[in-house]
Amino acid sequence: MAEGGYPSVYVVDSCAPCPQVPPRVSKGQRRATAAQTLLFLLVSVALCGMAIEACFIYRLYQRGSDTSASFSKIIAGKDITPPTTRPSVVIHPSKPVAHLTDGQNVVHEKHIMAWSMDADPLLYEMDYKNGSLLVQKEGFYYVYSKVSFLDTEIFYHSIELKTKLYVGKSIPLLMSREYPEKISSKMRSNSYLGGVFHLHRDDALFVKVSNSSKVRRYRSFENIFGAYMI
């Protein structure tokens, strides 16, 4: 009003807020609806996330129970879950493998050790017969054995090979000899043998000891014999 040229502008200005009032309100409403939409979206996203998470947890749980079942199969040598419920979970090794243990029912020969078939041993593409592991597939194998024994006299422990290439005699692959120095101080001892060998089909591996009566048989897993293709 003080400046001559501006009243018209003031009029315009004074009039300008009048029509602008409704848009302001609608802007607020828009904001409110936008906030609502945003909130709705956020809640939806959170719910979706929870659903996906639940799915992942369920799948992990399923996988976890599967692996624990197969683990227990390998360790205990027994399938706890009936095979009818999960036929697809049976896992085979990729190469021939055998792991044998001692057992209550096992009767050793004087020099050649026998191994338990009641313990449901791990035997894949290898056979067991009369104390011997029989090779089915030619290849390089890691062969091992561990025995626990009473160290009161000289004790030999060896892994022997019977092959068609040398008929009649077995070939010692690995051997350890224990000489007791002080009988009173060292009564119990262990021998572990392990090495890699090229084996042919129908080769037979067995564990020989100087006196199987000296072998300690407190627990079945104290005396073991095994082989696996590398």
Ligand X SMILES: *[C@@H]1O[C@H](CO)[C@@H](O)[C@H](O)[C@H]1NC(C)=O
| Sheet strands (E) in 26-105 | 97-101
Whole-angstrom distance, CA of residue 59 vs CA of residue 69: 15
To the nearest 10 degrees (0 to 180), the angle between helices 17-76 and 7-15 is 40
Given the complex with ligand X, which of 141 and 149 has the nearer CB atom? 149
How many Cα atoms occupy the beta-carbon half-sphere of 28 within 13 Å?
5
Pairing of strands 204-209, 132-135: antiparallel
Positive or negative, the CA dihedral 152, 155, 157, 162 is negative
Identify residues 156-195 at the interface with ligand X (CB under 6 A).
none
Point out which span in 63-71, 183-191, 194-202, 209-217 binds ligand X (CB under 6 A): 209-217
Give the nearest distance from C-beta 127 to ligand X in angstroms: 13
In single-letter form, the type of residue at position 53 comes to E
Give the nearest distance from C-beta 79 to ligand X in angstroms: 30
Give the nearest distance from C-beta 210 to ligand X in angstroms: 7
With the CA atoms of 47, 49, 53 and 55 taken in that order, what torsion angle do they form, in degrees rounded to the nearest 10? 70
Given the complex with ligand X, which of 70 and 211 has the nearer CB atom? 211
Residue 116 touching ligand X (CB under 6 A)? no
Residue 214 touching ligand X (CB under 6 A)? yes
Q: Which of 70, 79, 81, 112 binds ligand X (CB under 6 A)?
A: 112
Residue 154 touching ligand X (CB under 6 A)? no
Residue 81 touching ligand X (CB under 6 A)? no
Q: Which of 103, 121, 131, 226 binds ligand X (CB under 6 A)?
A: 131
Q: What one-character DSSP code corresponds to residue 215? A: B
Whole-angstrom distance, CA of residue 206 vs CA of residue 160: 5
| Site residues, ligand X (CB under 6 A) | 109, 112, 130-131, 211, 213-214
